[in-house]
Amino acid sequence: MSNVPPPRRLTLDQVAERAGVSRSVASRVLNDAPHVSRAKREAVERAVRDLGFVANSKARALATSQAGVAALVISQHDPAVLADPFFGQVIVGVSAVLEEADLNLMLCLAASERGRSRVEHLLRSGGVDGVMMMALHEDDPLAALAEQTATPVIFGGRPVGKDPRWYVDIDNVAGARVATDHLLARGRKNIVTISGPLDTQVGQARHRGYREALLLAGVTPREPETGDFEEAGGAAAMTRLLQAHPDLDGVFAANDNMAVGALRALRQAGRSVPGEVSVVGFDDLAVAQIAEPALTTVHQPIRNLGREMARMLVGLIGGQDPSPLLLPTHLVVRASS
């Protein structure tokens, strides 16, 4: 009786590696799914012949994908949001992964009733293979819609009051805590905050991190001035804070756009930065480096957020069950503190 072990079954991963494509692309070719480029299809077919690969008929794969489209849904109504550097970086990350998987990207703004109806139609009609949702507000109908569909849905940031199965998020609480700790370490005693909208998870989380850092230091947090993540909103909030707390000497703004607005308002009020007031933002966008003075900020991996959302979605479309992901942040110290 022979002791020679039977040959190991070749895997889809080996085919993909031989063809120089992703596993999902190899799967789509083997299942004769649409929306695969001719070059990649030929590469996979050549790898199958060279390796003598025989597909496992029970394997789950991207064969279930029919539309060849993934949607990025942003709960905003103003198209100008797409010019925001934050969303620009997210889109770059998402696009890179979807291109690898031969999925086309559809962008949807869905804060209006018309926009939500369009997304609902896409989900119910099978017009997309999967959806990534971002920037949801409290009680946003999109969150309920996501729970009612069989279409794979990934959240970029968790919706307020929800615990979705699949999401990619930033550790906003820890980032805000580090930002506030930095202001305390700089000897600042009267620290205020410009929060993001408090009906959003990111606004709530960054405000929570600010409060936790101060409470742990034995300092009573002051009430936030709420901004809208825009520069003008940050400037207006800073002006209100100066009127309410003329003794303030430290500011944590919940994103870089608002922090830049705060710098402008402080300059107009004759308050020197960082001499009289230290300012810290959140995001580490390009504007932080060219601000005057250059902005200390919490770096979040924005492009990687987009990449990981898209990777998770491609996995779901292919029959996987990925785990939620929380991405870390770190402080970048510049001249504003």
- What CATH number has the domain bearing residue 29? 1.10.260
Residues 183 and 282 in one domain: yes
In DSSP terms, 70 is beta-bridged to 105, 130
Q: Which of 54-68, 119-133, 201-215, 216-230 has the lowest mean pLDDT?
A: 54-68
What percent helix, strand, coil does the chain show, rounded to 5?
A: 45, 15, 40
Residues 261-273 as b/e (b if ≥16 CB within 10 A, e otherwise) read bbbbbbeeeebeb
The whole-angstrom distance between residue 328's C-alpha and the CA centroid of its chain comes to 12
Task: List the domain range (segments joined by +) for residue 17.
Answer: 12-63
- Average of pLDDT values for 205-232? 97
Residues 119 and 231 in one domain: no
Give the pLDDT of residue 112.
Answer: 86
In the block, residue with structure tokens 């010019």: 83
Q: State yes or no: pLDDT of 61 exceeds 60.
A: no
- Average of pLDDT values for 203-216? 98
Q: Is residue 157 part of a domain?
A: yes
Which residue type sits at 284? D
Contact 209, 176 (CB under 8 A): yes
In the block, residue with structure tokens 């009289």: 276
Q: Is residue 101 part of a domain?
A: yes
Give the C-alpha separation, 327 to 330, whole Å: 10
Q: State yes or no: pLDDT of 256 exceeds 90.
A: yes
| Per-residue pLDDT reduced to its tens digit, 175-202 | 999 999 999 999 999 999 999 999 999 9
Residues 44 and 110 in one domain: no
Q: Which of 8-12, 156-160, 203-207 has the lowest mean pLDDT?
A: 8-12
Give me the number of domains the chain comprises.
Answer: 3
Q: What are phi and psi of 177, to 5 degrees?
A: -65, -45
Residues 262 and 314 in one domain: no
Give the pLDDT of residue 63.
Answer: 46
Q: State yes or no: pLDDT of 67 exceeds 80.
A: no
* Residue 181 belongs to domain with CATH number: 3.40.50.2300
Q: State yes or no: pLDDT of 65 exceeds 70.
A: no
Residues 184 and 76 in one domain: no
In DSSP terms, 74 is beta-bridged to 109, 134
Residues 178 and 30 in one domain: no
Residues 247 and 134 in one domain: no
Q: Which of 332, 262, 287, 316 is nearest to 89 (CA)?
A: 287
Counting Cβ atoms within 10 Å, is residue 13 exposed (0-12), middle (13-18) or buried (19+)?
A: exposed
Q: Is residue 332 part of a domain?
A: no
Give the pLDDT of residue 198.
Answer: 96
| Mean pLDDT computed over every residue of the chain | 90
Q: State yes or no: pLDDT of 64 exceeds 50.
A: no
In the block, residue with structure tokens 């929800």: 162
Residues 120 and 261 in one domain: no
Q: Is residue 337 part of a domain?
A: no
Q: State yes or no: pLDDT of 59 exceeds 70.
A: no
Q: Is 193 left (phi over 0), alpha (psi -120 to 50) or beta?
A: beta
Residues 239 and 292 in one domain: yes
Residues 260 and 221 in one domain: yes
Give the pLDDT of residue 9.
Answer: 60
Residues 144 and 37 in one domain: no
Q: Is residue 1 part of a domain?
A: no
Q: Which residue has the higher pLDDT, 25 or 305?
A: 305
Give the C-alpha separation, 213 to 219, whole Å: 9
Q: Which of 144-158, 253-267, 287-301 has the lowest mean pLDDT?
A: 144-158
pTM for the whole structure? 0.81
In the block, residue with structure tokens 């770096």: 299
Q: Is residue 335 part of a domain?
A: no
Which residue type sits at 10? L
Q: Is residue 334 part of a domain?
A: no
The whole-angstrom distance between residue 163's C-alpha and the CA centroid of its chain comes to 16
Strand ranges for 8-129 from DSSP E: 69-74, 104-109
Q: State yes or no: pLDDT of 240 exceeds 80.
A: yes
pLDDT band at 6 (very low <50, low <70, confident <90, very high): very low
CA distances from 9 to 52, 204, 267, 293 (A): 10, 50, 68, 61
pLDDT band at 35 (very low <50, low <70, confident <90, very high): low
pLDDT band at 91 (very low <50, low <70, confident <90, very high): very high
Which residue type sits at 226? T
Residues 163 and 312 in one domain: yes
Q: Is residue 7 part of a domain?
A: no
